[in-house]
A and B are shown apart, each in its own frame.
Chain A
Amino acid sequence: MKFPVPHDVKAKTIPGTEGWERMYPYQYQFVTDDAVRNQYEKETFWFYDGLHYPEPLYPFDTIWDEAWYLALSQFNNRIFMVPPVRGVDHRIINGYVYISPVPVKNPEEIGSRVPHFMERAGHYYKNWDALEAKWKVKMEATIRELEAIQIPKLADMEDISVVLDAVGESKGYHLLKNYDDLINLGIKCWQYHFEFLNLGYAAYVFFLDFVQKQFPSIPAQRVTQMISGIDVIMYRPDEELKGLARKAIELGVEALVTSSPEWTVVEAALKASPKGVQWLTSLNLSREPWFNVSTGTGWFHHDRSWNDQMNVPLSGIATYIGKLKQGVNIERPTAKVCAERDRITAEYRGLIENEADRKQFDELLGCAKTVFPYVENHLFYVEHWFHSVFWNKMREVGALMQEHGVIKDAEDVWLLRRDEIKSALWDIVTAWATGVTPRGTHTWPSEIAWRKGVMQKFKEWSAPPAIGIAPEVIQEPFTIVLWGVTNKSLADWASVQEVSDPDTITEIKGFAGSPGIVEGKARVCKTVAEVGQLQEGEILVAPTTSPSWAPAFAKIRACVTDVGGVMSHAAIVCREYGMPAVVGTGHSTKVIRSGMMIRVDGSTGAVTIAR
């Protein structure tokens, strides 16, 4: 299957964005001045990573793409020696990330990698639980280190202790060093992120593969259901809100907690009462670490955490207080969920006809169940907890740069690459030491203003789902399971080259996330801050959901997302609540508007709009 040539796509530069390439690392460019590289790029299949990047990347946010470019690839190719695949290559066009799995082409080389893979991956699979316990220790230590990082202010005169303690270093040097430390911790955190993830996904993919051979029509959501954990960390932030709702009623402060949607107002009211103070103590225990949960995927600087936006968890607590007051049970039906999971697993197993296949099923199921908690839990540690703290440290860097006049607004920091920030900090530090004005005060503000315009134009551009030439076989597990690259999806991508008028679309296809059919009024919430508008019984339409959206699910009857697969948060939570979900629809939030009547069929993955 052939798709547009990458270089042709790139050559149609959006007017006014000429020179945008400098916003991203140079190795991310499709090139025409290097014949060998150009040929490789043309013959390769690239697909747009819409799963992670629904919007164009800000220059700074590219850090996580670079981090996983390195980490995923090295674990596949240099550490575990996955026989038929190397890493996943990356490019950027107009701020959108395109990726491509790189195969090992020589059969002899594949063969020579096999024993190493068996030894190395085998070690992890065999010792999974023990190694995962070590991982948690490493990860928590990394987060503690991150929390301890200081972004020092540059004083006109250094503190006297620098002299008395004979420190021999200035705050200027510390700023440069601590910024490097901050970035390095981020890269390290992503090293850990992929330590288990490739193998975890491989176990899942091949359990899925086996079950689909036995049952060609089995929906992927049922396979996920068989291996999903019940006590995963993902549910914990929501459980904390429920606990706080109960506590508020127990202490008799529920009226204060629900007195205003504004956290500052509520907090002041609570501080004035002894019982209120008691409740605030419980709240503070919950906040670390559980309120570090991001209100988005955590991948972008604009994904703020509950701690950053206390109105969000407050509205969740208020929802639960309301439910409790009505006598509604807000406990998760864990016993029921477990029983259903066990019933489904046993019934499928019972339908396998021969003993050998049943044994293979047990083997693969056991392996998948061992690895799956990691696949679900790592998100909280990395994308939520670490990232939420990290973004705020970067905001301190932004504030310092603003203070020194290099950028006009602290939030402008995201428009610079991380290495440009390092250069700007050098500029600031040397100017500070010398007592002159940083050169960047003149150059960066205009560049940033231009980049803002470019980002806006990028947002309006519609990224083709695939470019280059599709391969015959894909062996990279992530490509198959995460991005859903299959024969069918490629055909779909090939057919939807041009986007039709959103006002005429009556059906949107996505993945069947959670079964059932519901008709109702849509409520489009682009961010979690908007879930307050949700009315009881509406259908939530969101770009994606994360644990911080959990309280919204207590109100809705179905859910539709733009991004995500059958393992996404929305799909898993909807299955627990027994309500339909269609996930990964691509553009529901653009096509559907609040108030429209829609029909969500979570069994077939179709959303129908009544026009």
Chain B
Amino acid sequence: MATSVDTLGRVAVNGVQDRSNETTLIKAAQSGDAEAFEQLVRSYDQSVLRMAMNLLRSPEDARDVYQEAFLRVFRKLPQFRFDCSFSTWLYRIVANLCLDQLRKRKVRKEEASSLETASGEMDRFQFLPEQRADVDPQRQLFSSEVSSRVNSVLETLTPRERLVFEMRHYQGMRLRAIGESLGVTEEAAKNCLFRATQKMRAALGDFL
């Protein structure tokens, strides 16, 4: 049985069969099969939400992107002609929505150190990943310093750099797929990633 990892880093057993299953699902959804559409959503929605959450760092904004992305997919699905893979098409929609949000934020110059939550606005540092029990206090302090630097430097990236970095580093997508999703060449995506990592290295490299 063949095993493969797709552009999103998801493991697929017997990729050929998965692709053909997906094509069947898309065709069924195009002809109005609500259950097929739901299955299609479920195969991607965790990745979509994770990407939106990671980029926007706000559950409210991530929810809006999630809903708008899949509504657009629903509305445009009848016109989907399999010219590119479904995931590339979906991520093009998600990427554009996230870019819009990030650009709006740049304009609004939102407070970077807070997060919107169900119980109001809270300090981002309360949401740092759990510290492991076997790490000594000095190491914990060091980790939180790293965290704070990572968050600061992410804020300095342009929306497009942030998006490319997110898609490559966290979603595990190849640059070719990122380029296709953003409607740019692989080379342009590579340059964008290069600039993002240069900034990250400049901010973190000497610290670690």
Q: Do A and B come from one complex?
A: no
